[in-house]
Chain A
Amino acid sequence: MALLDVENLGLSFAGLQVIKELSFSVDEGSIASLIGPNGAGKTSVFNCLTGFYKPNSGEILFNGRPITRKRPYKITRRGMARTFQNLRLFKSMSVLENVMSGMHCRTRSGPLGAILRTGSQRREEAEIKEFCEFCLDFVGILGEKDRTASNLPYGHQRRVEWARALATKPKLLLLDEPAAGLNFDEKQQLIELIKRIREELKITILLIEHDMGLVMKVSEMITVIDYGQKIAQGSAEEVQNNPRVIEAYLGREEDEVV
């Protein structure tokens, strides 16, 4: 069954059509990828899915229910979490506090509970801490939990973002260029991590990526877009051999002659 269903999505800014009648779906429990050359509109698709952009047309169904044009926090509550291409951590807060932000939408204690420190409030705080530490441990940086986020090395900051996204207890995790800026070893670890998230946490994954090697290794279903339009879809092999994909990435032969 499809966990995410995008139908005829369209988005334009001031007359510029960024996404054109894009349709694709992500099956529950799969690892899917959205790829395309620079400026193809991949991040715009993510922003539409997560509610940061309001698409002009089309429909997005998540878990069978429409989420088109809903506010981002509501979509996250429905179970869709994301990471950002250029990190968006709460820089002056500790790593643990950063991850705790993810649990916000899964907990409920309000001002009265906070002032009176009621039993349920304290239980909830303990629960938040425990789950966030689990998430940090899962991505392998539990030891860094008390450091200020901005003081971490880049690769670790990325992991804080993943832990933070995992702490929202998502059904679907959207990763925006997770391998950008990582070295070879870190990329290998990333591949492991993506697989573990799916196997151990049962979370479906959709990623945007430039690194073709990584995409081909992990994804079961790849959607290729160019100029906001879908040009191919299929397994790694199918996509690799698709002439339109090759054309989009390498340019037409005529172009090179010219």
Chain B
Amino acid sequence: MARIDSAAPKTGDVAGTGGPLRWLDSQKNRLIVLTVLAFLAMFLPLISSNYVLEVMTTAWFYVMLCLGLNIVVGYAGLLDLGYAAFFAVGAYTTGILTSHFGVNFWLTIPAAVLFSICAGVIIGGPTLRLRSDYLAIVTLGFGEIVRIIARNLEITGGASGLIGIEKPSIFGFELNQIFHFYYVFLILACLACFVSYRLQHSRLGRAWQYVREDEDAAEAMGIDRVAVKLYAYVIGAIFGGVAGCFFAAKMTAISPETFMFQQSVLILLGVVLGGMGKIPGVIVGAFALVLFPEVFRDLGSSRILVFAIVMLVIMLYRPKGIWPEKKS
């Protein structure tokens, strides 16, 4: 080879596992933890207060968002710093269609999917041809653009946002209790896990890994790296869009400030915390994200500072996350 590309991923094992969380590396211990947690998730509404349910609903919601972003970051190895934009696209689609046009909530979901796909293609199409760094910064800009547009248009309610979004109903049964939404988001999170798992273990999932490990070799094997990355980017966008629809329905009000850059960073943090690319890891990360500030309430506004320090320490000392991917 005339020149070894300096960008070629170096996949030598970086630090890997170890440290105080080593007991999580055993397969048996992981299984026990998982079973207990699954039971807890199923029967939680029977035993807990509304406050706990509210927090847990948010946690499932973040599980879905983080799994969506994980497809982009964990599977395809692309850094997306404007993921909240897709979440915003979904939320505003539902908000606008239900409150301005009286469209049924369930019909807004396909519309949101469509818009998310369009947004994903417009942003991803040109930038995915370039070095991955460009994508990071363009998505950052895109996140800002979407927020500024939402702030400045009349149809999105300007800076104060949209209020009075109708709650959805299924067969005449209106979803209005917190435990309804708990189960809605639990189901969504499970669905997200299922889809992620199936995608990861498929032709497309393998292609993401090839491209992540060595773009040139993947291309030499006949893989269109731009198309493969675009798939990841767009599928991630759909996850975010759908999550946004349900978010709007649950909150009944949305405002541009929900979709600030910090939101995108939080979601990314969830993906990084538990270990990129691995579904249980991402779930752990999403929960850590939501539960941490609830447990340490005194931290207040400096929680992002703490998160950022944790993120730096993880990247430096446990780069594969708390719950890293296992390889024989």
By a CB distance below 8 angstroms, the chain B residues around A148 are 327-328
Query: Would B1 and A111 count as touching, CB distance under 8 A?
Result: no
Interface residues on A, range: 35 or more
Query: Would B222 and A104 count as touching, CB distance under 8 A?
Result: yes
Number of interface residues of B (CB under 8 A): 35
Assess whether A77 is interfacial by the CB under 8 Å rule: yes
Assess whether A72 is interfacial by the CB under 8 Å rule: yes
Assess whether B220 is interfacial by the CB under 8 Å rule: yes
Instruction: Tell which of B1, B13, B221, B235 touches A105, judged by Cβ atoms closer than 8 Å.
Output: B221
Stretch at the interface among B57-65, B99-107, B208-216, B294-302: B208-216
A20 to B246, CA, bound (A): 62
B-contact 0/1 string along A136-154, CB 8 Å cutoff? 0000000000111010000
A73 to B222, CA, bound (A): 4
Instruction: Tell which of B1, B202, B205, B225 touches A121, judged by Cβ atoms closer than 8 Å.
Output: B202
A-contact 0/1 string along B190-229, CB 8 Å cutoff? 0000110011011111110110011011111111110000
Assess whether B11 is interfacial by the CB under 8 Å rule: yes
A145 to B13, CA, bound (A): 21
Of the listed residues B4, B12, B209, B222, the one surrounded by the most CB atoms of chain A closer than 10 A to its CB is: B222
A121 to B201, CA, bound (A): 12
Assess whether A110 is interfacial by the CB under 8 Å rule: yes
Query: Would A52 and B216 count as touching, CB distance under 8 A?
Result: yes
Which residues of chain A (106-163) have a CB below 8 Å from chain B? 106-107, 109-111, 113-115, 117, 121, 124-125, 128, 146-148, 150
Assess whether B2 is interfacial by the CB under 8 Å rule: yes
In chain B, what residue has the closest Cβ to A169?
B222
A155 to B328, CA, bound (A): 21
Query: Would B221 and A124 count as touching, CB distance under 8 A?
Result: no
Assess whether B231 is interfacial by the CB under 8 Å rule: yes
- The smallest C-beta distance from A82 to any residue of chain B, in angstroms, reads 6
By a CB distance below 8 angstroms, the chain B residues around A102 are 221-222
By a CB distance below 8 angstroms, the chain B residues around A164 are 221
- The smallest C-beta distance from A203 to any residue of chain B, in angstroms, reads 15
Stretch at the interface among A1-9, A86-94, A187-195, A229-237: A86-94
Query: Would B2 and A104 count as touching, CB distance under 8 A?
Result: no
Query: Would A90 and B198 count as touching, CB distance under 8 A?
Result: no
Query: Would A43 and B1 count as touching, CB distance under 8 A?
Result: yes
- The smallest C-beta distance from B324 to any residue of chain A, in angstroms, reads 12
A72 to B220, CA, bound (A): 6
Assess whether A206 is interfacial by the CB under 8 Å rule: no
B-contact 0/1 string along A66-79, CB 8 Å cutoff? 00000111101100
- The smallest C-beta distance from A228 to any residue of chain B, in angstroms, reads 12
Query: Would B219 and A71 count as touching, CB distance under 8 A?
Result: yes
**A85-B1, A92-B11, A148-B327 are contacts. A111–B222 as well, Cβ < 8 Å?**
no
Query: Would B203 and A72 count as touching, CB distance under 8 A?
Result: no
Query: Would B11 and A91 count as touching, CB distance under 8 A?
Result: yes
A-contact 0/1 string along B10-26, CB 8 Å cutoff? 01110000000000000
Query: Would A128 and B213 count as touching, CB distance under 8 A?
Result: no
Query: Would B220 and A104 count as touching, CB distance under 8 A?
Result: no
- The smallest C-beta distance from B8 to any residue of chain A, in angstroms, reads 8
A44 to B12, CA, bound (A): 28
Instruction: Tell which of A86, A125, A150 touches B203, judged by Cβ atoms closer than 8 Å.
Output: A125
Instruction: Tell which of A86, A89, A93 touches B1, judged by Cβ atoms closer than 8 Å.
Output: A86
A90 to B215, CA, bound (A): 10
By a CB distance below 8 angstroms, the chain A residues around B223 are 73, 101, 104-105
Query: Would A43 and B2 count as touching, CB distance under 8 A?
Result: yes
- The smallest C-beta distance from B78 to any residue of chain A, in angstroms, reads 16
Query: Would B214 and A90 count as touching, CB distance under 8 A?
Result: yes
- The smallest C-beta distance from B311 to any residue of chain A, in angstroms, reads 23
- The smallest C-beta distance from A89 to any residue of chain B, in angstroms, reads 7
**A73-B225, A101-B218, A168-B221 are contacts. A90–B1 as well, Cβ < 8 Å?**
no
Q: A-contacting residues of B (Cβ < 8 Å)?
A: 1-2, 4, 11-13, 194-195, 198-199, 201-207, 209-210, 213-214, 216-225, 231, 235, 327-328
* Ranked 5 nearest A-B pairs via Cβ: A105-B222, A114-B202, A76-B222, A88-B217, A90-B213
Q: Can you give 19 contacting A-B residue pairs, CB < 8 Å?
A: A43-B2, A52-B220, A71-B224, A72-B216, A81-B220, A81-B221, A86-B4, A91-B11, A92-B213, A101-B207, A104-B206, A105-B222, A106-B222, A111-B231, A114-B205, A115-B194, A115-B199, A148-B328, A168-B221
Known pairs A104-B206, A105-B223, A111-B204 / 7 extra A-B pairs, C-beta < 8 Å: A43-B1, A101-B206, A101-B217, A101-B223, A106-B222, A113-B202, A114-B205
Q: B-contacting residues of A (Cβ < 8 Å)?
A: 43-44, 47, 50, 52, 71-74, 76-77, 81-82, 84-86, 88-94, 97, 100-102, 104-107, 109-111, 113-115, 117, 121, 124-125, 128, 146-148, 150, 164, 168
